[in-house]
A and B are shown apart, each in its own frame.
Chain A
Amino acid sequence: MVEETHQNQINIPKKRPLRSVGKVILYAIMALIGIVQIFPLIWLFDYSLLKSGDFFGNAILQIPNPPQWENYISAFTQGKVLPYFINSALVTFVSVVLTAVVSVLLAYAITRMKWRLSALVANIILIGMMIPIHATLLPNFIIFHKIDLLNSYWALILPYTAFNIPISMFIITGFMQTIPRSIEEAAVIDGSSIFGILRHIIFPLTKPAIATISVVNFINCWNEFIMAYTFITADKYKTLPFSIIQFTGQYSSNYGAQFAVMSLIAIPSIIIYLIFTDEINKGLMAGSIK
């Protein structure tokens, strides 16, 4: 249900034209806010192509003359963008897949199976949604230290998955409730097991909801910083946000390259967003309305 209504809400524009004076004011306001929202990023890309010496002028935007593409090269090599990128991709991919799998299983057990503690478990998971990440940093650091999990991929994958489970499970639950039970009943009569039903019926039918939560979880994990900063100190496991942190520390006077490394981190998120705008919007709204 949720999915359907949102699709309508997003895609069907309402056409109510205004008179011309109103139109001018309208576009002026929209342009102003649009510029405020996007201008810092334009400035970022612009300055990422400048020589460090060109930073200290009063011009708002400067035409890079010539564009310093080598800023991107030094950002890429000195900022260790590639190894960190691979770590980010690995951690994000495993977290997203793991979250999707366990959330589907949980949602199925809660919407379809009959057991006494069902409501209690659902409520405990809901509480997980309200716990601030920061309150778990210190105790998790102590636990990870004790079981020797600091500086490993699991030190990120497990908490990322945990914090994405509540919202993902609730979005999938909402979606699953719209699947008619008669399909499962027919499968049971044909002798299918629960796992058969999950694989051949529930999983394919839940795909749109899985896509939605996966895209949103991807953005969350990809951009996550504070847990990575707390649980990872070894260079081998660092994720992409560390490129910026380390770069601004070590090469603090190389402004152009600093801006280039920031651009390099921002660009993939923007591209993913432009490709999956609708999925992201749906996911965020389904998550908030639940």
Chain B
Amino acid sequence: MDRLMSDKKTIFTLVAPGFLILLSMILLPIAMSVYYGTTDWSGIGSFNFVGLENFKNIIFHDDVFRKSLLNALYLTVATILIQHPLAILLAILITHCGRWEKVLRTILFIPAIISVVVTAKLWASVYNPQYGLLNNMLETVGLSFLKQDWLGDPRFAIWSVILVVMWQGFGYAFLLYYAGLKGVPEELYEAAKIDGANYFQLYGRIVIPLLAPMMRVAIVIAVITCLKQMEVVFLMTNGGPGSSTQLLGNYLYQTAFSKGLYGYGNAISVVFVIIVLIITVILNKILTRDVGEY
């Protein structure tokens, strides 16, 4: 048995296909980015080695890069402060909905499985100043003074985009907390009831603290997803107006493919990966240190 289980040839045959695909499609490209990131290549012809020049420029002199990071930060903070509390509240409320529970759960998750292209183009229409749903709704409820060109005005554009990202991601956040709630043993509710606890005490002192490990996981996922977010912006505003809705992935794409700055674009890729890795490691250290069982 042991000899069979440590047969080198078999192990190689099992590991090689998957590992090679992963290596060649994800890790080799990143290594290449590190190399090209140190050049001034423009996609055609020869190029010069410029050392860490690109990286220095990105970190110290690139305003759009800074704006992209700042926007990612807005998105992250809005997600954690608005989307997640709402998702927790809803996860709690839905357990009281009896036979509607399953229907509501399904409805809440539908936006999460819709193609991002549909989501982005649909919401671009919702925000459309001529026929958009949002302005029509404001008009109908007598708030027509609030009507805006939601994506055209730099003051509102980033928040309009953030709302779309939150709309699409809401079901997923909700589902995580819902799963966490379902993991709380029924006896705890019974015991609390026998002890005369009201709903606020029940949730404030027992259920929410038990949900803490799931919150940590959900927040780690949310932060990483927010940093990586790109498609919605790419399809709705392409970073504009100006760079008011720019995000890292989109800026990288523009630099590389629209402006043809391959060297600089690759350097942005590398910085992007490093940022995501560092934040992931730090968050994992801080937040999942003592994930308990209940």
A131 CA to B280 CA, complexed, in Å? 10
Beta-carbon contact of A137 and B19 below 8 Å: no
What's the nearest-Cβ distance from chain A to residue B211, in Å?
Answer: 13
Beta-carbon contact of B110 and A112 below 8 Å: no
Q: Does A33 contact B (CB under 8 A)?
A: yes
Q: Does A60 contact B (CB under 8 A)?
A: yes
A41-B273 CB under 8 A given contacts A5-B183, A165-B18: no
A10 CA to B270 CA, complexed, in Å? 40
- In the complex, which residues of chain B have a beta carbon less than 8 angstroms from the beta carbon of A106? 14-15, 18-19
Q: Does B175 contact A (CB under 8 A)?
A: yes
Beta-carbon contact of A226 and B231 below 8 Å: yes
Question: Which of B5-63 touch A at CB < 8 Å?
Answer: 5-8, 10-11, 13-15, 17-19, 21-30, 32-33, 36
What's the nearest-Cβ distance from chain B to residue A92, in Å?
Answer: 12
Question: Which of A84-102 touch B at CB < 8 Å?
Answer: 98, 101-102
Other-chain contact of B100, A14, A30, A185 (Cβ < 8 Å)? A30
A29 CA to B23 CA, complexed, in Å? 48
By secondary structure, the B interface counts as helix
A41-B108 CB under 8 A given contacts A10-B179, A121-B19: no
- In the complex, which residues of chain B have a beta carbon less than 8 angstroms from the beta carbon of A284? 172, 175
Interface size range of chain A in the complex: 35 or more
What residue in chain B is nearest A35 (Cβ atoms)?
B107
Interface centre among B18, B94, B137 (most CB of A within 10 A): B18
Question: Which of B76-92 touch A at CB < 8 Å?
Answer: 86, 90
Beta-carbon contact of A130 and B19 below 8 Å: no
Contact with B along A201-245 (1 / 0, CB 8 A): 000000000000000000100110110001000000000110011
What's the nearest-Cβ distance from chain B to residue A39, in Å?
Answer: 8
Q: Does B145 contact A (CB under 8 A)?
A: no
Question: Which of A143-187 touch B at CB < 8 Å?
Answer: 143, 158-159, 161-163, 165-166, 169, 185
Beta-carbon contact of A230 and B175 below 8 Å: no
A162-B108 CB under 8 A given contacts A37-B170, A269-B114: no
Question: Which of B209-261 touch A at CB < 8 Å?
Answer: 217-218, 221, 224, 227-228, 230-231, 234-235, 248-249, 252-253, 256-257
Other-chain contact of B27, A108, A124, A255, A289 (Cβ < 8 Å)? A124
Beta-carbon contact of A102 and B133 below 8 Å: no
Q: Does B65 contact A (CB under 8 A)?
A: no
Q: Does B117 contact A (CB under 8 A)?
A: yes
Interface size range of chain B in the complex: 35 or more
What residue in chain A is nearest B33 (Cβ atoms)?
A139
- In the complex, which residues of chain A have a beta carbon less than 8 angstroms from the beta carbon of B272? 132, 134-135
Beta-carbon contact of A288 and B217 below 8 Å: yes
Q: Does A59 contact B (CB under 8 A)?
A: yes
Q: Does A113 contact B (CB under 8 A)?
A: yes
Interface centre among B14, B109, B121, B276 (most CB of A within 10 A): B14
- In the complex, which residues of chain A have a beta carbon less than 8 angstroms from the beta carbon of B221? 288
What's the nearest-Cβ distance from chain B to residue A228, in Å?
Answer: 10
Q: Does B160 contact A (CB under 8 A)?
A: no
Contact with A along B105-120 (1 / 0, CB 8 A): 0111111011111100
Q: Does B148 contact A (CB under 8 A)?
A: no
By secondary structure, the A interface counts as helix
Beta-carbon contact of A132 and B6 below 8 Å: no
What's the nearest-Cβ distance from chain B to residue A31, in Å?
Answer: 9
Beta-carbon contact of A288 and B107 below 8 Å: no
Beta-carbon contact of A6 and B107 below 8 Å: no
Q: Does B205 contact A (CB under 8 A)?
A: no
What's the nearest-Cβ distance from chain B to residue A247, in Å?
Answer: 9
- In the complex, which residues of chain B have a beta carbon less than 8 angstroms from the beta carbon of A194? 4-5, 7, 10, 14
What's the nearest-Cβ distance from chain A to residue B10, in Å?
Answer: 5
Contact with B along A248-259 (1 / 0, CB 8 A): 100000010011
Other-chain contact of B253, A124, A134, A159 (Cβ < 8 Å)? A134
Beta-carbon contact of A188 and B1 below 8 Å: yes
Other-chain contact of A245, B90, B117, B176, B253 (Cβ < 8 Å)? B117
What's the nearest-Cβ distance from chain A to residue B256, in Å?
Answer: 4
Q: Which residues of A contact B (CB under 8 A)?
A: 5-6, 8-10, 12-18, 26-27, 29-30, 33-34, 36-41, 43-44, 47, 55-60, 98, 101-103, 105-106, 108-109, 112-115, 121, 124-125, 127-128, 130-143, 158-159, 161-163, 165-166, 169, 185, 188, 193-195, 219, 222-223, 225-226, 230, 240-241, 244-245, 248, 255, 258-259, 262, 265-266, 269-270, 272-274, 277, 280-281, 284-285, 288-289
Given contacts A34-B108, A113-B5, A185-B1, 8 further A-B contacts (CB under 8 A): A10-B182, A136-B25, A138-B262, A194-B14, A223-B115, A241-B117, A284-B172, A288-B217
